[in-house]
Amino acid sequence: MRFVAIFGAVLVVPVAASGNLPLTGTAIVIDGDTLEMRGQRIRLNAIDAPESGQRCLNHNGKPYRCGQKAAFALADRIGRGTVRCEPMGRDRYDRIIATCFKDGVNLNGWMVREGWAVAFRKYGNDYIADEDEARANRRGLWAGTFDMPWDWRAARR
């Protein structure tokens, strides 16, 4: 009996845990808070970046495509290097929700600290200090004015 219980645990545990194993590889940036790796969409946990078509105002009040700029910032940070993502579940669109890293740097936090994304408090408090730092230093979006990404999306529904 003891052998069967151990054998059963060995078979069940890896299958149950396999959905949360880290993903590692080359990532393609879809937008400022979404990557694609090995054919799977990955949503960066607890952050929200402007949408691709979203416009913001720079420090001179001139409109610019802040969603595109956010995506370019993430793409430049990642380059062609290896990204490691630690999944924590899936969202309603079946995207993997994860915290992702490049060269040991938390990309979720980096995007918020650089001002190209905001802390998505609805889904976690992980990056509030990073947002406060970006705002205080007028980095990225905080150099001008912008609508929070969730407000911008809601206005277009």
> What is the rounded CA–CA span in Å between residue 120 and residue 27?
22
Say if strands 105-106 and 96-102 run parallel, antiparallel, or are unpaired: antiparallel
| 38: annotated active-site residue | no
> Is 124 within 8 Å of 40 (Cβ atoms)?
no
Check if 114 is active-site.
Answer: no
Which of 84, 95, 113, 114 is the catalytic position?
95
Of residues 43, 77, 84, 113, which has the active-site annotation?
Answer: 43
Cα 46 from Cα 35, distance rounded (Å) = 14
For residue 153, indicate whether it is catalytic. no
Angle at CA of residue 34, ends 139 and 129, nearest 5°: 40
Cβ–Cβ under 8 Å, residues 118 and 112: yes
Q: Which residues pair with 63 in a beta bridge?
A: 57
Catalytic: which of 51, 84, 114, 131? 51
Please enumerate in sequence order all residues whose Cβ is within 8 A of that of 66, keeping only pairs 6 or more positions apart, or say none.
50, 54, 55, 56, 141, 146
Residues recognised as catalytic: 43, 51, 95
